[in-house]
A and B are shown apart, each in its own frame.
Chain A
Amino acid sequence: MTTTQAITQPFWLLAELTYRCPLHCVFCYNPTNYSKIQNELTTEEWIRVMTEARALGAAQLGFSGGEPLLREDLETLVKAARELGFYTNLITSGVGLNEKRIQALKQAGLDHIQLSFQDSTQEMNDFLSSTKTFELKKRVADLIKKYDYPMVMNVVLHRYNLPHVDKIIEMALALDAEYLELANTQYYGWAMENQDQLMPTHEQLQAAEQVVNDYRAKIGKRCKLLFVVPDYFEDRPKACMNGWGSVFLDIAPDGAALPCHNARQLPGLEIPNIKDYSIKEIWYESQAFNFFRGDAWMQEPCRSCEEKTKDFGGCRCQSFLLTGDAAATDPVCSKSPHNNVVKEIIVRNDKNALTQRPQGKKPIIFRTDKNSKELTRVLK
């Protein structure tokens, strides 16, 4: 039996202002074909999006990208958002955040900055010892503090930096971070392309988790450490987006309205654009936002599973990427008939690590315009 639930209000508006980015992170979740997505929304269009989403009840707003600081109207957008009553979050690599801009952002009413640590060079192994990166982050961290923002840092973890998680924590402490989110790579977009290279071994993960726990005991309240375990290693899927079309509304740089960051890749969805519809029409009436709402779309074992109200069947994109069927049970779930796909990836990966073939067969692919054009061509 399926149930019809009332459509809830959107809560979280993610404004992906641009796909442009000065960095080339191999674990980026942006679509690999981003280079063909152009025609960024104008300032006025963004303000309309924010106004309409706020009227529907959205209270959290994330300015993201790409690198949102590349938008010269960021300050204008923050000001408008704040006046609408949004809690405004800037999700940034810090590249381009100088004193003039942070002062203007503060004045505009920006509530919060989340600083991510990424590679600013293509030399992965150089990442942690890269004084260039550290100096940049140090400068930005000092600015963040000077303007009385809490220092909240985010680091994406993968095979190459998991063994150095202690150094990452030390770096966060040296920067006086108050929160450090250690988020294991989620395999979408560029990260999926590079899965063979990025996926850690089970052993690495356990060791890293132990290090994090030891630090927690040692540093107490000085810096809060969040460690997000990759779902491949769990036996239940994540409650992706807290349910499809339930709280999360993502507007891509070109105005595409997405129920999740990667919805564009799912087959059968008619992705609405804010240039054609109001946010209200998109949220309540569009085919895409209703596609996986509720549980009528579910297959077994989800359909009759009592945990469906907890995890909503997991992640649609992951189901599609790993089983070819976006409506299938997330294969991370041990009840999924496709769970072996995930288990095989883990086993293959552990074996690769043992036989010293961490590179697998493919070379690592950096997020660059050139690679994006290349991948777009292959996809066609």
Chain B
Amino acid sequence: MTEQTSESLPERPRLNRLFRLQWEEAQQAYVLLYPEGMVKLNVSAAEILKRCDGAHTIAAMVTELEQAFNTTGLRDQIEGMLRAAYEKDWIK
């Protein structure tokens, strides 16, 4: 089965309502919870997904995260992560 990867990302990504993002004490990490499952997130994935609220544009996320981490050139990494999240149906 071939997935379509050329689809463009949503303008203002929003977390799929099947998923819940929360801090998990037992894992010492942010996780995505969904029916019958859980994904443990690394720090950058968590910071990106926190901003998938349907309000942030991707550009706004990039600006915010670059400021937060006091760095530049994060766009590719963020878009890559969002694309992976989109393919996994985490975001709409």
**Chain A interfacial positions (CB closer than 8 Å to B):** 9, 11-12, 56-57, 59-60, 62, 85, 87, 89, 111-112, 114, 148, 150, 152, 216
Contacts and interface: CB of A to CB of B under 8 A. Distances in A.
Contact of B18 (A11, A12, A56, A112): A112
B35 interface: yes
B41 interface: no
B34 A87 contact: yes
A52 B36 CA distance: 19
**Complex A-B, nearest 10 residue pairs according to Cβ-Cβ distance, in ascending order:** A57-B26, A87-B33, A112-B35, A150-B18, A59-B38, A89-B35, A9-B26, A60-B36, A59-B33, A87-B20
A9 B31 CA distance: 16
Given A148-B17, A150-B17, A85 B22 contact: yes
27 contacts: A9-B26, A11-B38, A12-B36, A57-B26, A57-B27, A59-B24, A59-B26, A60-B33, A60-B36, A60-B37, A60-B38, A62-B36, A85-B22, A85-B24, A87-B33, A87-B34, A87-B38, A111-B33, A111-B35, A112-B18, A112-B35, A114-B35, A148-B17, A150-B17, A150-B18, A152-B35, A216-B1
Nearest to B34: A87
Contacts of A56: 26
Nearest to A57: B26
A202 B21 CA distance: 42
Interface in B34-69: 34-38
Nearest to B38: A59
Contact of A111 (B1, B20, B31, B37): B20
Which among A56, A89, A111 has the highest number of chain B CB atoms within 10 Å? A111
Contact of B31 (A59, A62, A148, A216): A59
A111 B34 CA distance: 9
A59 B21 CA distance: 12
Contacts of B26: 9, 56-57, 59
A112 B18 CA distance: 8
A216 B1 CA distance: 10
Given A59-B31, A148-B17, A150-B18, A89 B36 contact: yes
Nearest to A56: B26
Contacts of A112: 18, 35
Contacts of B31: 59
Nearest to B16: A150
Given A57-B27, A89-B35, A111-B20, 6 more contacts: A11-B38, A12-B36, A57-B26, A62-B36, A112-B18, A150-B18
Contacts of A148: 17
Contacts of A57: 26-27
Contacts of B22: 85
B87 to A, nearest CB: 11
A112 B26 CA distance: 22
A12 B33 CA distance: 12
Contacts of A11: 38
Contacts of A9: 26
A112 B27 CA distance: 22
Nearest to A152: B35
Contacts of A59: 24, 26, 31, 33, 38
Give the residue among B18, B22, B26, B34 with the most A Cβ atoms within 10 A. B26
Contacts of A152: 35
Nearest to A216: B1
Nearest to A11: B38
Nearest to B26: A57
Contacts of A111: 20, 33, 35
A12 B37 CA distance: 9
**Residue from the set A59, A150, A152 with the largest chain B CB neighbour count within 10 Å:** A59
A87 B1 CA distance: 31
Contacts of B36: 12, 60, 62, 89
Nearest to B33: A87
A331 B34 CA distance: 33
Nearest to B37: A60
A85 B24 CA distance: 9
Residue in A12, A56, A112, A152 whose Cβ sees the most chain B Cβ within 10 Å: A112
